[in-house]
Amino acid sequence: MQPGTEQVLTVAQMRAAEEALIAGGETVDSLMQVAGKGAAEWVWRVAAGRPATVLCGPGNNGGDGYVIAETLRRRGLPVTVAAPVEPKTGAAQRARAAYGGPIVENGKGGVLVDCLFGSGLTRPLGPELAGLLAELARHHPYRVAVDLPSGVESDSGALLDEDLPNYHLTIALGAWKFAHWLMPAMARMGERRLVPIGAGRVAGAAALLARPHFAAPPMNAHKYTRGLVLVVGGGMVGASVLACESATRAGAGAVRLTSTHPHPAAPADVVLKEEPLGELLADERTDAVLIGPGLGLDDHAKQRSVCALQADLPTVADADALTLLTPSAIEGRWAPLILTPHAGEMARLAKSFAIEAEGKVATARGLALAADAVVVAKGPDTVIAAPDGRVALAPSPTSWLAVAGTGDVLAGIAASRLAAMHDPFGAACEAVWLHGEAARQAGPAFVASDLAKSVSGAYAAAL
């Protein structure tokens, strides 16, 4: 499975895409009309007759705002423009000249449309503009950001100003930007919608994760052709059980569990193995190994982790295995490897692998290259990075995932998909999607065992 067709662009990539459109016959003005009128359609819907105030800045994002305002005015919506700064680009100046409504220093209304600054901003708004934006936000019960909320850095998702408003809707122009799907910015954006302007595919662009497409097993399938997963557990039996149950529900034909402790609560579908770990790893039928959930951090756990990694089988490393992971432990490996760190684990891995990068995307990319592994950097924003530079982004569908054990469920799904398809990047993308869909289906206030049981329904949603 490849990530969806919706690309996620850096500022530089978006500019290049616009320049390609202009080279093909478009103009800055024509693109502004397409973007502004497309955004105006969304504002028209959410305004539902309420008066709107459009906050316009000095650049082309402000020009988009004038187009939005004029489009809404012609459709009969009460509109005023707040313009604290004169337009400075030719296209924005022409868009302002074409606007036939009132321009004010401040305003009140039902809907605020923030077109102050767009994706090119790299510095704080400053006290005067930040104060105006905050005041307008207080006096408008519904707030819309066009392209990005003003005060957000596009490529990193950082907030350039403190106390930025929260928005109910953010309308991306041309393509998704990284900030639309990265914390902390995405928490301010509310619903997100995309207005295309005809931009072509950009080589090397990241992608927004899309639903995979599964099929029923072929008529001649059996448990070993569908993938055999070996889960290497330890003293924390609950984590291993969660990983096993989710692996059984994510498409694998068989799941085995080897542990240093008895597992009386292990699902009946999981085969408990007592043979030495080395013997189990030598079974040629094993398609993927999961190491980490419930493993522990003592000397015996370290030995089991090294043994599993050095077996050089397709492997998912999670939880305690990530804490124990060092560059020497994976030296000489050729088989696919997926790492699934949360923020704290990512920080430790970055230090261990000498990754010097700023931001979640750059760090994940650096670790993927250094470890020759697919990295699933978990969190409310999830970044999936491959050693060849591919990146997919996925927001958490629900904050209810912030509960103990959900990472073990993701690890089990990832091992199951790796066993089934042998493509680590594709398996990681499928696992993150299934994890999110299972959370969506589980409803509010679920626990990790509920989430594991919901994986079957998530799988069915992709058939």
- Inform me whether the pLDDT recorded for 227 exceeds 90: yes
Question: What CATH number did the domain enclosing 352 receive?
Answer: 3.40.1190.20
What is the reported pTM? 0.94
Distance separating alpha carbons of residues 388 and 385, to the nearest angstrom:
8
Is position 221 within any domain?
A: no
Query: Is the CB of residue 124 less than 8 Å from the CB of residue 151?
Result: yes
Residue 292 lies inside a defined structural domain of this protein = yes
Both 311 and 254 in one domain: the answer is yes
261 and 189 part of one domain: no
Query: Are 417 and 274 members of one domain?
Result: yes
pLDDT at 5: 63
The sign of the torsion formed by the CA atoms of 423, 425, 427, 430 equals negative
Does the pLDDT of residue 166 top 60, yes or no? yes
Q: What is the pLDDT of residue 219?
A: 95
- On whether both 175 and 276 belong to a single domain, the answer is no
Considering the domain architecture, whether residues 358 and 412 belong to the same structural domain is answered as: yes
**183 in a structural domain:** yes
Q: Which of 187, 203, 219 is the last residue of a domain?
A: 203
* Domain annotation covers residue 222: no
Q: 271: exposed, middle or buried (C-beta count within 10 Å: 0-12, 13-18, 19+)?
A: middle
What's the pLDDT at 2? 47
The answer to whether position 391 is within a domain reads yes
What Cα–Cα distance (Å) separates residue 208 from each residue in 2, 177, 195, 394? Answer: 10, 10, 15, 6
**How much is the pLDDT for 3?**
45
Tell me: do 114 and 199 sit in the same domain: yes
* Same domain (yes/no): 151, 233: no
Question: What is the structure's pLDDT at 270?
Answer: 87
pLDDT above 90 as % of the chain: 92
Q: Which of 203, 237, 257 is the last residue of a domain?
A: 203
pLDDT at 105: 82
Residue 287 and residue 328 share a domain? yes
pLDDT for 263 equals 66
Q: Is 194's pLDDT higher than 90?
A: yes
Residues 190 and 298 reside in one and the same domain:
no
What does the pLDDT read at residue 202? 94
Burial 303-333 (b: 16+ CB within 10 A, else e): ebbbbbbebebbbbbbbbbbbbbeeebbeeb
Q: Count structural domains, the chain.
A: 2
Helix axis angle, 90-98 to 60-74, nearest 10°: 20
Looking at residues 38-58, what average pLDDT do you find?
98
Picking from 21, 26, 71, the residue whose alpha carbon sits closest to that of residue 47 is 71
Mean pLDDT for the stretch of residues 218-223: 94
Amino acid residing at 436: G
Same domain, 104 and 59: yes
- Is 296 part of a structural domain of the chain? yes
Residue 294, both tokens: 């419930």
Task: Examine the domain organization and report whether 181 and 50 are in the same domain.
Answer: yes
Distances from the Cα of 406 to the Cαs of 289, 342, 396, 409, 455, in angstroms? 19, 11, 12, 5, 12
Kindly tell me if the per-residue pLDDT of 259 is higher than 50. Answer: yes
Domain span holding position 287: 228-461
Q: How confident is the model at residue 4 (pLDDT cuts 50, 70, 90)?
A: very low
Q: Say which CATH number the domain at 198 has.
A: 3.40.50.10260
Residue 236 sits in the same domain as residue 152 = no
Query: Which residue in 165, 170, 169, 135 sits closest to 154, CA to CA?
Result: 170
- Write out pLDDT tens, residues 132-160: 999 999 999 999 999 999 999 999 999 99
What rounded mean pLDDT belongs to the chain? 95
Residue that wins the pLDDT comparison between 220 and 105: 220
In a domain, 353, yes or no: yes
Q: Is residue 420 part of a domain?
A: yes
Q: Which residues contact 337 (CB under 8 A, 6 or more apart)?
A: 314, 315, 316, 317, 330, 371, 372, 373, 374, 424
Whether the predicted pLDDT of 275 surpasses 70: yes
